[in-house]
Chains A and B, each alone.
Chain A
Amino acid sequence: MVAPIIELKNVSKQYDDQFAVNNLSLSIPKGEIFGLLGPNGAGKTTTILMMLGLSEPTSGSIRVSGIDSVRRPIEVKRMVGYLPDNLGFYQNMTGLKNLLYTAELNNIPKETAKERADYLLEKVNLTEAANKKTGKYSRGMKQRLGLADVLMKNPEVVILDEPTLGIDPEGVRELLKMIRELSEEEGITVLLSSHHLHQVQQICDRVGIFVKGKLLAEGNIKSLAKQLFKDNTLVIHVEASPIEEALLANIRSIPNVKKVVQEKSGIDVYCTEDVSPVISETIIDLGASLYHISNKHFGLDEIYHRYFEGREQQ
């Protein structure tokens, strides 16, 4: 196993008497894309700020590439690129000037900085807007400039806080593609925080679900589904008409069926085994017409939703 590049051990952060982050342990190996997934206010940004040494943990230790973030934040920040959630640029400076300023703060020699800025601007499709003031940039352009800005320092780890917030679908697609390329072709470790499940699902190797300061589950999508759906692993979606109480009752009585939920488009049957033939038989026996029957695949959306559903019941 590769040595982890980001390692958090029992990290807690307390504001007054409330825990923003509660006993979080996490390790991310080099080159991985890790998605930190959670609703607003779950403590994602706090965790990220602690990794960068911008906020001190109440207890626990954080090491990025073997360096203690609390004690030596400057060295950590030298190799970690951070894209904040609502990022801004100096509006009266051009995109290129903003990048060059970042380069200056990182002690990058002028010629190299110019060369690199031009190269990165081309990569994020902003060459034409390079000499435009950033005050006139659209949200998507700013986000892409932000990515270029993060890459100016040639980082080993890139932390992106809600990178897809407020961009149109096409922009999101492009941005995610860029992030994946970064990870695959340069071995940059990417930590991505988001509450957009589909996007995280598209590019992340591993996902951590983060709620109220606690990491509830962690792993790839498949193993998450397994962890979460031990009891009813399968959902069969059925579209039939008419849907009557008798029909629902009959389906419920089929062995291995756990739950039947009526939805707008039809019914969802939660079961431990694939019972679709039995269901279709039941429907036809009752004289109803069957339009559609299929196995639902678990996406992150369901995983996420199930998590909260489960928590509320507790």
Chain B
Amino acid sequence: MNLANVKEKFNFKGIIRNRETEEGTVHTVDNRAAFFAIIRKEFTDSIKSWRIIILLAIILLACFGSLYTAVTAITDTLDSGAAEELGGNTYLFLQLFTISDGILPSFITFVGFLGPLFGIALGFDAINSERNRGTLSRLMAQPIPRDYVLNAKFIAALLLNVILFFSLGFIVMALGILILGIPPTTEEFLRVMFFLVVCIVYIAFWLNLGILFSVVFKNSATSALSSIAVWIFFNIFYSMIVQLLSRSILNPESITSMADVVNRQGAVLNLMRLSPNYLFTESTTILLSPSVRSLGPLTMEQAVGAVAGPLPLSQSLLLIWPQLTGLIAATLICFAIAYIIFMRQEIRSN
């Protein structure tokens, strides 16, 4: 073992150039290549890991299952002569994502259920696994800013997310066209695209929650369980709690006027909207069922004079704008907290 003259043998340009710039007055630490290297590595790790492969398989299965149920439901109605029922609905294509024959849930139900799991699976051990394996301190000793690690991990997971959901959406659309023979209109196509974007934002929220817990908890099992606990809380218990509360809020004996009813109903609705699941459901409903015109209670006065018919895309988007910004804000808040904690954390591996 002779380590002699490593320096003489390797006088490579890259390092020499870096050293020279250090001595200069301008310190542009441009290390974007390193950033992309981390993204690339994280992405490869994700698609090679068993838990992601298994989840992908489940999501694909669910996707085909829901497609099958949607297609049978649509053809059944078409065959049974209830064409008028559907005929009035110009957005037949969108029903591929929403309709179900009662045996299997629809596509949006599947996504609403499996999406968060996928996000959590991508994020829950982002930082603590590096810490436990002892790779974090080695990584931190490289000439990269500390936030590169967190940012790159987030972007790699998000990228996987985007690719997965757009391909899923396109697969469902393509198969729908092949089987049903109905091409989507431009508006339907755009609605599906927006729907996919909402899905990605929604999953990004859970991804960031997972990352946050991975920064806070040293043990990856703890962070996985906490993320899943939050998910279960919002999925199952939150609506129950709000229902309990609404019983006292909407108690007929305490209501005095019409305006009071509307106010109280609004309060209950706003409570529900604290849950990201509810925001997601509202957004997808509006996007994929254009005939839904409002998310809150609608008085007769408001409905008077309204032309019965589906909303145009721009109006649907306007309707879900608060929901969408709320989801994005929740996502960013999670990421910001994770970021701040990570930047201040000790790097020590034990």
Contact = CB atoms under 8 A, between A and B. Distances in A.
Contact of B133 (A77, A88, A101, A153): A88
A109 B18 contact: no
A81 B141 contact: yes
Contacts of A301: none
A153 B27 CA distance: 19
A55 B4 CA distance: 33
Contacts of A30: none
A78 B18 contact: yes
A80 B6 CA distance: 16
Nearest to A104: B37
Interface in A109-146: 109, 112, 115-116, 119-120, 123-125, 146
**Range, interface on chain A:** 35 or more
Interface in A69-83: 72, 74-75, 77-82
A74 B34 contact: no
B31 interface: yes
Interface in A32-91: 45, 49, 52, 54-55, 67, 72, 74-75, 77-82, 84-91
A87 B41 contact: no
B143 A74 contact: yes
Contacts of B7: 154, 186
Contact of A185 (B4, B31, B350): B4
B9 interface: yes
A178 interface: yes
A109 B48 contact: no
Q: Which of A74, A112, A120 has most chain B Cβ within 10 Å?
A: A74
B266 interface: no
B141 A78 contact: no
A55 B142 contact: no
Contact of A119 (B6, B27, B33, B133): B6
Contact of A107 (B2, B31, B140): B31
**Range, interface on chain B:** 35 or more
Nearest to B145: A74
B33 A84 contact: no
Given A86-B349, A88-B134, A181 B48 contact: no
Contacts of B41: 90, 101
Contacts of B37: 101, 104-105
B139 interface: yes
Contacts of B15: 106, 108, 153-154
Interface in B12-59: 12-15, 18-19, 22, 27, 29, 31, 33-34, 37-38, 41, 45, 48
Nearest to B141: A82
A174 interface: yes
B261 interface: no
Nearest to B134: A88
B167 interface: no
B34 A107 contact: yes
Nearest to A123: B3
21 contacts: A45-B348, A54-B347, A74-B145, A77-B142, A78-B19, A82-B141, A86-B134, A90-B41, A92-B48, A102-B138, A104-B34, A105-B144, A106-B143, A116-B10, A119-B9, A124-B1, A146-B138, A154-B7, A154-B15, A181-B4, A185-B2
Interface of A: 45, 49, 52, 54-55, 67, 72, 74-75, 77-82, 84-92, 101-102, 104-109, 112, 115-116, 119-120, 123-125, 146, 149, 151, 153-154, 174, 177-178, 181-182, 185-186
Given A82-B137, A105-B143, 13 more contacts: A67-B22, A77-B142, A78-B18, A84-B349, A86-B134, A86-B350, A89-B133, A104-B37, A105-B34, A106-B34, A107-B18, A116-B10, A149-B138
Give me the 4 closest cross-chain CB pairs, A-B, nearest first. Answer: A88-B134, A104-B37, A82-B141, A88-B133
